[in-house]
Structure 1
Amino acid sequence: MNIDFTLEKYKTLCETISNSSYTTFTFEQYFNQENPPKNCILLRHDVDRNISNAHKMAMIEQRLNLVSTYYCRTTERVFKPEYFQEIAAMGHEIGYHYETLDKAKGDVEEAIKIFGQELNAFREFINIKTVCMHGNPFSPWLNSNIWNKYDFRDFGIIGEPYLSLDYKDVIYLTDTGRTWADKNIRVKDVIKDKDHQKNNLLIGNISTTDDIINLIKEEQYPRICLLAHPDRWHGHLIDWTGELILQNLKNIGKAGIIWYRKNKN
């Protein structure tokens, strides 16, 4: 049976990347390049709830000589320095998945204070050079808006994927909502660049990991950013089923939010 969003399926995806002519980069490696490399894949993982699954994915990648970036929150279930150090020792990057404008309830000055405090908490255990916002679909604030007033470079940060990547030249693929399809269930995880949107339209209908695997095999696109949330991928049926139910319920709520925002005026 061909079941999607399992760790075995993720391994197949990674094997496809490993057998292709693509090279993987961490975001730190990519942002440090003077000229953006071609034929590369940026593997990104937003670790929202499950650091243990992130560790399993990191081991799969390491065995296949792939590198990726794991953006971790400061929640109790995710902020586990021993995992950060083990994942980094495999050659991967640990980044800070910040949500400080949400925590500060929209107060930008308070949000930047929290950002500095949490960044320092990470740096007690691991070097942090890139950060990526966490997008809570049920929050009215967009966490990356703190950079409208402040500059992340003042904190020794060299890049933020939503702000620092040139999406005219990068195909962005995400499993948000437990599907690769670009459906109306993405509230915060949205790239608004018009050229990027045109590029993604050229890809056609993509919804499954097998579709992503076939796209990588074709090697038509020189740069791909691929976001896979560790929460989505499981090795046990009970966990897999629980995530399926949770994401379907969340997708209903997110679709309602998007409909409301489009029609409220």
Structure 2
Amino acid sequence: MKSKEFSYDSFIELLQTFLSNGYAITTVHDYLTNENVPDKVLILRHDVDRYPSNTLKMARMEHEIGVKSTYYFRIISSVYKEDVIQEVHDLGHEVAYHYEDLTLVKGNYDKAIKHFENGLKMIRKFAKAETICMHGSPMSKWDNKKIWEKYDYKDFGIIGATSFDIDYDEVFYISDNGWGWNNTSVSVRDKVKTKFDIPIEGTAHLMEMLQTNKLPNKIMINAHPDTFFDPGVKYFFNKILIKSKNVVKRIIVKYKIFK
């Protein structure tokens, strides 16, 4: 691997390694609805937490290599940029809702479901948005996916949620949370229950395991666009920011502050 860790180039290099080793790359929606899922498949997902400009660059780069993925957008003002969402959709990617409604209304379930319905309508200005993904809100005491203990997302035309409709004993989940692949010590809610225990030391190690057939045939990657930058000043300060947040998240995870 020649590219700098968590640069755009390193990410595209990783995707090309998946492709060259026989993996089809698909969206969450297509994985859930395709009756003929390929034997080797990467479900490619992006939780858009910050930096819409990063999102657009990543979406364009994927399009250039013929890859379609899923982009889950928050509806907070700093992320919900209609021109960005429209272009990501026009590039052929799946656009859907990255919901955090319980957190945004401070745990009021009745307000949260109305907020969810409104957020879904905002995303559906651009796409069908038939899948959803919870935003982890790591600094919040509210677990956003618990809204579905009272309500049913299928009542809103949703065919699947990443927290509930993917079998993670069959699909190996990989997230870039905390400037590392499956860095569980700083993952407050960006984690799944799974039988897999496969440590990943970095992108080069991940690519090596792909090339030596040491990974399962079904994989989901959650790559947050705000993790990736071109090398330079923004890359450096973003790395420092993420590492600083890791200090707090490590305490939350260790002491189970948000159960």
TM-score, normalised with respect to structure 1: 0.91
Quote the offset at 1:109 in angstroms: 1.1
| In structure 1, C-alpha distance between the alignment counterparts of 2:39 and 2:235, rounded to whole Å | 35
- The answer to whether the 8 Å contact 2:73/2:95 transfers is yes
Query: Closer, same or farther in 2 for the Cα pair 1:181/1:146, shift >3 Å?
Result: closer
One-letter code aligned to 2:233: I
Query: Greater shift after overlay, 94-103 or 15-24?
Result: 15-24
Q: How many residues align?
A: 257
2:69 corresponds in structure 1 to 68
Instruction: State which of 199, 208, 221 in structure 2 corresponds to 1:214.
Output: 208
Deviation string 1:164-206 (CA, Å, 9 cap, x unpaired) is: 10111010011000111433111111212xxx2x32x2x2x31
SS of the residue corresponding to residue 102 of structure 1 reads: helix
One-letter code aligned to 1:214: E
- The answer to whether the 8 Å contact 1:18/1:65 transfers is no
Which ranges of 4 or more aligned residues in structure 1 deviate by more than 4 Å?
Answer: none
Quote the offset at 1:41 in angstroms: 0.3
1:103 corresponds in structure 2 to 104
One-letter code aligned to 2:242: Q
Unaligned runs of 5+ in 2: none
SS of the residue corresponding to residue 247 of structure 1 reads: helix
TM-score, normalised with respect to structure 2: 0.93
Quote the offset at 1:246 in angstroms: 0.8
- The answer to whether the 8 Å contact 1:84/1:126 transfers is no
Quote the offset at 1:51 in angstroms: 1.4
- Counterparts of 1:1-265 in structure 2, within 5 Å, are 3-34=4-35, 36-192=37-193, 196=194, 198-199=195-196, 201=197, 203=198, 205-219=199-213, 220-261=215-256
Larger helix fraction of residues: 1
RMSD across aligned positions (CA): 1.9
Query: Greater shift after overlay, 136-145 or 235-244?
Result: 235-244
| In structure 2, C-alpha distance between the alignment counterparts of 1:243 and 1:79, rounded to whole Å | 21
| In structure 2, C-alpha distance between the alignment counterparts of 1:207 and 1:32, rounded to whole Å | 33
- The answer to whether the 8 Å contact 1:18/1:66 transfers is no
| In structure 2, C-alpha distance between the alignment counterparts of 1:215 and 1:102, rounded to whole Å | 38
- The answer to whether the 8 Å contact 1:14/1:64 transfers is no
| In structure 2, C-alpha distance between the alignment counterparts of 1:134 and 1:183, rounded to whole Å | 17
- The answer to whether the 8 Å contact 2:98/2:132 transfers is yes
One-letter code aligned to 1:231: D
| In structure 1, C-alpha distance between the alignment counterparts of 2:3 and 2:95, rounded to whole Å | 32
One-letter code aligned to 1:10: F
- The answer to whether the 8 Å contact 1:42/1:224 transfers is yes
